Amino acid sequence: MDLQKPVIQIIKERISCRSFDKNKTDDAALKKLGVYIDEINGEAKSKVRFMLTSKPGKNDSTEKLGTYGVISGTNLFIIGVVDKEKKNEAEFGYLFEKIVLFATALGLGTCWLGGTFKRSDFEQKASLAENEYIPIVSPVGVKKGKTRLLDMAMRAGAGSNKRKPWSELFFETIAETPLTEEKAGAYKTVLEMVRIAPSASNKQPWRIIKDENEFKFYICRNDGYGSASYDLQKNDVGIAMCHFELAAKELGLKGSWQGKTPKCAPGAWEYVGTWLADIG
């Protein structure tokens, strides 16, 4: 993943963009993005795929897509496709966020759109097989110079500029003991990149327990949130795992993901995966 910019800087720069400049395109950047999406498709371990495509309609049309806001000025979208029966929402979120960060590095705007958007507008473009489903799309294009009042209102309404404190997200050994920034040591910046990761409706459902050289990722679910067809909160944990891995690698902190499941999860939390830090 050659971003040509520090990934930590890119993570900090990424914000949801709902307004695009209909009079500007960056063909060179879009070409690079298309090539990178092909690379991501080759990286996928489960039955997921992504594509960059135009949506039928005029660039200057303004449409409401789902609950994430109003998109204007672009008809270009990144589409994500999963197998209905063999969904891996964590991997999907992890891979989609890599695409989003790559687009950000190229100077392009994006916005995660999940839940109830107009899938019928995209299904034909994606040439879906009978067993496939589109859980997430993102508009992509050149960001509009001036932020609309509507965009600012939506960000404020969703609490997009607010993040939970460390004491609610990161823990040491057990879920009852918050992990301090000092105790995080070399992983302080890595965890901060997780803390500022995007999530559906800014719910931030990820929780991490540091146990010596293990960082165990869990979902702390919001009651009544999400849908039966796609687990958005597991998707969000995948985004957090993407930020964690990319930031760790940039800082020279070696490690790998382990599939070993803990004997039990704290309370109602659901285990997702573990980063095993190499301390050798």
pLDDT at 258 over 60: yes
The superfamily CATH assigns to domain 7-153 is NADH Oxidase (3.40.109.10)
At 124, is the pLDDT very low, low, confident or very high (cuts 50, 70, 90)? confident
Q: What is the pLDDT of residue 155?
A: 46
- Common-topology check for domains 7-153 and 166-277: yes
Task: Answer for the pair 153, 161: CB distance below 8 angstroms, yes or no.
Answer: no
pLDDT at 235 over 80: yes
Q: What is the pLDDT of residue 267?
A: 86
For the domain with range 166-277, which CATH number is right: 3.40.50.720, 3.40.50.2020, 3.40.109.30, 3.30.530.20? 3.40.109.30
Q: What integer is the mean pLDDT of 15-39?
A: 95
Report how far residue 133's alpha carbon sits from residue 84's, in angstroms, rounded to the nearest whole number: 6
pLDDT over 70 percentage in the chain:
86
Block residue for tokens 């992983």 = 187
Q: What is the pLDDT of residue 59?
A: 45
Higher pLDDT, 195 or 280: 195
Report how far residue 171's alpha carbon sits from residue 181's, in angstroms, rounded to the nearest whole number: 10
Mean pLDDT of the chain: 88
Q: Where are the domains of the chain?
A: 7-153, 166-277
The predicted-structure confidence for 101-121, as pLDDT tens digits, reads as follows 999 999 999 999 986 567 877
Q: What is the pLDDT of residue 209?
A: 97
The phi-psi region of residue 173 (left if phi > 0; otherwise alpha if psi is between -120 and 50; otherwise beta) is left
pLDDT at 27 over 80: yes
